[in-house]
Amino acid sequence: MNSNTVQLDNPATDVSAQRVLVLDFGSQFSQLIARRVRELNVYCEIVRHDIAPENILKHNPSGLILSGGPASVYEDGAPLADRGIFDLDIPILGICYGMQLVCDVLGGKVESDSSGEYGRAQCHHNGSDPLFNDFPKSTQVWMSHGDQVQKVSDDFVSLASTDTSPFAAVRHRTREVYGLQFHPEVTHTPEGKILLRNFLYDICGCEGTWELSGFAEQAIASIREQVGEHRVICGLSGGVDSSVVAALLYKAIGDRLSCILVNNGLLRNSEQQTVVEEFSTHFKTDLHVVDAEAKFLETLAGVTEPQEKRRRIGHAFIECFKAEAEKIHGAHFLAQGTLYPDVIESGAAIDGPAATIKLHHNVGGLPEELGFELIEPLRDLFKDEVRRLGLELGLPENLVWRHPFPGPGLAVRCLGEVTKQRLEVLRAADQIVLEEIHRADLYRKTSQVFAVLLPVQTVGVMGDARTYDDVIAIRCVETDDFMTADWSHLPHEVLATMSTRIINEVKGVNRVCYDISSKPPATIEWE
């Protein structure tokens, strides 16, 4: 399966009879566009930016969306679409780079903007087009571009503007070709879904018949067909992703599933015990636990660079996993809980020009010599969709709604060198953060909460004595899809309690900070 193609349903079924294609020009949000379309109950696939017009027609799409991207349309080697797509009589919506490409191809002029436009902007539209039906006359939108359409041909009209962009939205006079300079798909454009819905329903004529509900049955059937009579090994972490994968596999092949939990010494307090207990309760299958703390700490000794940490953790994980897997007779397949945010951030989308944000130990990290065929049934899903799937499979809510935990574990929250002593400090602080979030009944109201140990010390005073100790940062975000996120506005009394407890109870910490960065421009994890 093309890793850049959303396949949540059988294209032959009635539910996906209407579909929209997203042409991927390398945007970090290409899959987010597809997700927003699916939320509006329209089947969606992501395809290459240079897909041939005749191949587009084979999909029989109701509309095309041209994604954003990091390139400039006027640069040599910039990703371009086949000009023939504009002659297919299929509605087109270009977003950011996609809009610039539309305007450039059809006679406009795109130039570098000396200051660029990044972040929130106020958009004003003239209400003259169905695309803006029910859209506020003036509202906040999210901009993220260094280039700008400076001029459009006479074939285009401007539909909206911002203080710095006279062409925040445009439409071709005779074709159903639209462009938006801002990103309607991100949560930072609060009313963006209205525009997407208008494009899908009022312009493309979609009726909203697609549903996620059939995914489990189709995934189970696909697993059975792929696996045959072989045994499957699943890398288990205890998080919702690997648990849902295990649930799908268990329903598909029963006791021919073997799971491996690698305790890399980078887990939270009591993590291994919790995983084993939860797994034993919900699955009656083969579970292998590997204690590899010493190996991972030795591997990470002296390493401070984030990508190198991830690389070393990935290699050590493979070695441990492979050694344990060799003990399992008849295993031919390896299943992982890889999600699309992992894929898109790692730049692992096979057919797309997306930039690499960070390495993920479970994306492209298993070398061919491991000898397994890979199964990644959740590869094209977002976290909220996985949770819905987990509930449908009968997993308990406390497991389904557990906050994400990174594959490299606390190593990417222990900035600087990773040592046993520093991990103990981080674990103690992190446990306090989680305890107070639960005590304030905020766990389900937040998406991800954790502590970060910084590689700096600061001066403090404790018991009239000078201290020079570590700093803990608290990160708490709210998000639907983990591709964009806002920092949580936690009550001051909750933050105060966290800070007081950490400083009083965690030896070696004398300062606590709170991270108020959104994603983008920051990522959720610090490394």
Active site (catalytic) residues: 96, 183, 185
CA 106 – CA 44 distance, rounded (Å): 26
As a 3-state breakdown, the chain gives helix, strand, coil percent values, each rounded to 5, of: 35, 25, 40
CA 423 – CA 411 distance, rounded (Å): 8
* Residue 9, φ and ψ in degrees, nearest 5: -150, 165
For residue 213, give every residue at least 6 positions away whose Cβ sits within 8 Å of its Cβ, in sequence order, or none: 392
Cβ atoms of residues 481 and 384 within 8 Å: yes
CA 19 – CA 45 distance, rounded (Å): 8
Helix ranges, 289-396 (H): 293-300, 306-325, 340-345, 383-392
DSSP class of residue 164 equals S
Pairing state of beta strands 509-514 and 92-95?
unpaired
DSSP class of residue 128 equals -
Cβ atoms of residues 351 and 22 within 8 Å: no
Whether cis (ω within 30° of 0) applies to the bond prior to 520 is: yes
Burial 89-100 (b: 16+ CB within 10 A, else e): ebbbbbbbbbbb
Identify the residue whose tokens are 């610090």.
Answer: 526
